[in-house]
Amino acid sequence: MTTPTRAELYGAYRPDDRAAPILRMNFIASADGAATVDGRSGGLGGDTDRTLMQVLRAMSDVIMVGAGTVRAEVYGGTRVTGADAAWRASHGLSAQPLLAVVSRTLDLDPECPFFADAVNRPLVVTCASAPAERRGALEEVADVFVSGVDTVDLTAMRERLTERGLRHVLCEGGPHLFGALWEADLVDELCLTIAPRLIGGGAGRILRGTREQSRRLRLVHSLVDDEGFLLLRYRSVEGD
């Protein structure tokens, strides 16, 4: 086994068409399917997985997460630096991808690291029924746009992002947002790292939804590093 280089990761995960919209999920899970250790996903990762996360971020126009991930992971601002910043510049992209959070209730602290440490003013996607007081507080630190009435209309959200030129969306969690995007048939690719660990217990999976929905995936590639981390890239099969 030979750990893939950063350049090889760029080659393996490069979108087929930069002009075409794409929504990617990036997750890590243990060999027995656990998505977290002690309630957080960070404890599962390795060096190659962390490098891949930076590569995927560098390729994206917007990095999206659910409000639960912001709270559970103490999710801070993201910054593309070094070779990844150079890659963006060489491909005519903005200096940094936009950071976005999806929340129906806006149960978010305006002073948390997600907003306080953001390189650019983040985007908050919510629905019309969200509490007006919370919305007003978040409008001080982020751009808030409404999509849907009682729940967030994810299809309309993606259409609006595309209209703004934010075609390449990277979603980093959590399982509930993944489930909602999956049920709305909006997921184009799943980038999944399998960590060489067994967790056991009651840890959740990477996808949680309100109903079962079986859909086939096509394996684009598989890579493995010297520590035994397996990096998988899947593409959703249309019409399945």
Task: State if pTM tops 0.85.
Answer: yes
Residue where the block lists tokens 């099969």: 237
In the prediction, which pLDDT does 239 show? 62
Domain that holds residue 146: 67-165
Same domain for 73 and 137, yes or no, is yes
In the prediction, which pLDDT does 240 show? 61
**Final residue of a structural domain among 165, 186, 220:** 165
Q: Is residue 4 part of a domain?
A: no
**Final residue of a structural domain among 165, 186, 212:** 165
Q: Which residue intervals of 77-218 are DSSP H helices? A: 82-90, 113-116, 132-138, 154-163, 175-183
Looking at the 3D structure of the chain, how many domains does it have? 2
Q: Is residue 16 part of a domain?
A: no
Beta-carbon contacts of residue 27 (< 8 Å; ≥ 6 apart): 35, 41, 172, 173, 178, 190, 191, 192, 193, 206
The DSSP 8-state label assigned to residue 37 in this structure reads: B
pLDDT per residue rounded down to tens, the chain (240 residues): 689 999 999 999 998 888 899 999 999 999 999 998 877 777 898 999 999 999 999 999 999 999 999 998 888 878 999 999 999 999 999 999 999 999 999 999 999 999 999 999 999 999 999 999 999 999 999 999 999 999 999 999 999 999 999 999 999 988 999 999 999 999 999 999 999 999 998 888 999 887 777 889 999 999 999 999 999 999 998 766
Q: Is residue 17 part of a domain?
A: no
Same domain for 123 and 185, yes or no, is no
Same domain for 75 and 159, yes or no, is yes
Same domain for 91 and 178, yes or no, is no
Same domain for 44 and 72, yes or no, is no
In the prediction, which pLDDT does 19 show? 87
Same domain for 96 and 51, yes or no, is no
Q: How far apart are CA 194 and CA 28, in angstroms?
A: 6
Same domain for 105 and 182, yes or no, is no
Same domain for 76 and 56, yes or no, is no
Same domain for 210 and 136, yes or no, is no
Same domain for 75 and 152, yes or no, is yes
Same domain for 207 and 179, yes or no, is yes
Same domain for 55 and 173, yes or no, is yes
For residue 58 the two structure tokens come to 């560098």
